Structure 1
Amino acid sequence: MEAIVINEFGSADEFYETELDQPQVTDDTVLVAVNAFSINPMDVAARLGMLPPQFSGNWKFPLVLGWDFAGTVTKIGQNVTGYQVGDRVFGSLPNDHADNNGSYGSYVVVAPETMAKIPAGLSFAQAAALPIAGGTAYQAIVENLKVKTNDTVLIQGGAGGVGLFAVQIAKAQGAKVIASASPSHHELLKQLGADQVIDYHQHAVAKSIKNVDAVFDTAGDIEDGLAALKAGGKLVTVGGQPTSEQLNSTDKNVAFQFTHATTPIYDSLAKLAIAGQLQIKLRTLPRSPDNVIDAHKTVEGHHMTGKFVIHVKN
């Protein structure tokens, strides 16, 4: 199969295209032809060799990176039910996927519990933007923070790939949403439903906001988030590691989220998108090594609002 790979960890300029053996479907998995994939900060960390062994233990070079995918089912393991050849699907690969089973390849082997069908009205590119960023936001807002109607939620880093989804998911839950972001993103966040946006360059969140019911931190600013949180409230972070003191707070609940999105979460995200409650902000480029290089440099430089999607085929 065709795949865009690296032969060593390091610069984004290392990407090139080559032919590799196609990953092999098992009795309990599905083979998917990739129609689109998205670039996440995790992809950048992987390319730099910064991910721990629980990610990289199955890797060797040439290495196919990538987790998020959208595509078409081409083969089904004999124990798999609920899918058939030709289904349009999207999802994410295991953290420790094999070296040739990244989504920058033409085919991926997927466990059915980590993908879902793409509903009519959602494109491959839109679906490919959802899994990691959308799944992270949904798990935090709905499952971990349990945001409900009339809650006030602070989302730190509201303009990133995860933050944009989190703002909209919290709004869909009926919450009042406060987001922190640089001024260039304020208008977009308000359009997506944020009730208040704070310029963190000019105003410390801790001094501007008090007594929110829940905080979702994607920016690594746990201390400010805790200062804004009411007694008895909960902060979930994917942006930093809480200190032991923060984790052992007697009046506020702090947790680091290890995201593990499954089919029900992906189904919920797709339904929100189809219902118009989740706008998917993305930039799309056709598949080529040069465009993967450009996408990595953009994401690595923190110059991206929303998601970067590489389009393979319709």
Structure 2
Amino acid sequence: MSASIAFIGLGNMGGPMAANLVAAGHHVTGFDLVPAALEAAATHGVAIAATAAEAVATADVVITMLPSGRHVLEAYRGGGPGGGLLAAAGAGTLFIESSTIAVDDARAAHALAAEAGHRNIDAPVSGGVIGAIAGTLTFMVGASPADFESARGILETMGRRVVLCGEPGSGQAAKICNNLILGVSMIAVSEAFVLGEKLGLTHQALFDVASAASGQCWALTTNCPVPGPVPASPANRDYQPGFAGALMAKDLGLAVEALHSTGVEAEVGSLAADIYRKFADEGGAGLDFSAIITVIRARSEGAAA
């Protein structure tokens, strides 16, 4: 069944996700602060609203894909042109929050929506821009079972796998745990390739061994940080994201906040967050996160010299 959907945030991830909803027969009205994002969405059949509040006014479902928890909460509460999303939406609207934000912010958004008479789930994604375009994202969902079932069909239009992780906030918890693994593993894979170069291994030889052995992981077999072995990886496109270094730095920062708040001792995760924060600050923000290998290689050459 088709639905009337408002999509707030039509950037690198939100734009393709909205386009897939249109292709599936849903009526999608979108809003973004960036004119180029609006123009791109319009070419895929997304109706463009003048304000975010206007977009949600007649929607059955509201999906947000925004940069941070602060932006989500501000959009929910209002203060900008047209007022807040919660006040503008009709009673009982289902809000799907697909940004990657802190667990506490996700729970705060859920509470605000419930107080305003709406339903809310957190459903962050994994799979990057390639997955958003292909409709193969993984959604990690925090929701009541009933709200999960209400959202499942829409999420399955945009993704290949939809997992109910638990109560509201659990989707964000799963996302930051997953990206903690991803950030650490990409650094390890990159260090291994640079070491292989020093030891005389070709990239293909190391890939052929590790991809079929105990070193196998997503960072190696899908997002390989060197060109050649995985033709679709960003390394073959001068590290155009993909999943940008700035986003990895952000997500690992959220993971570190959660580590501190829960008292978990995680030395490797904290170090990975430091490495990616520096990478983003020193020119890697707009590159794919796998470009961390270029930093490791450059520092290795400097150390050898």
**TM-score bin, normalised by smaller chain:** 0.3 to 0.5
Q: Give TM-score, length-normalised by structure 1.
A: 0.35
Which structure has more relative contact order (CA 8 Å, sep 6+)? It is 1
Q: Give TM-score, length-normalised by structure 2.
A: 0.36
Which structure shows the bigger proportion of residues in strand conformation?
A: 1
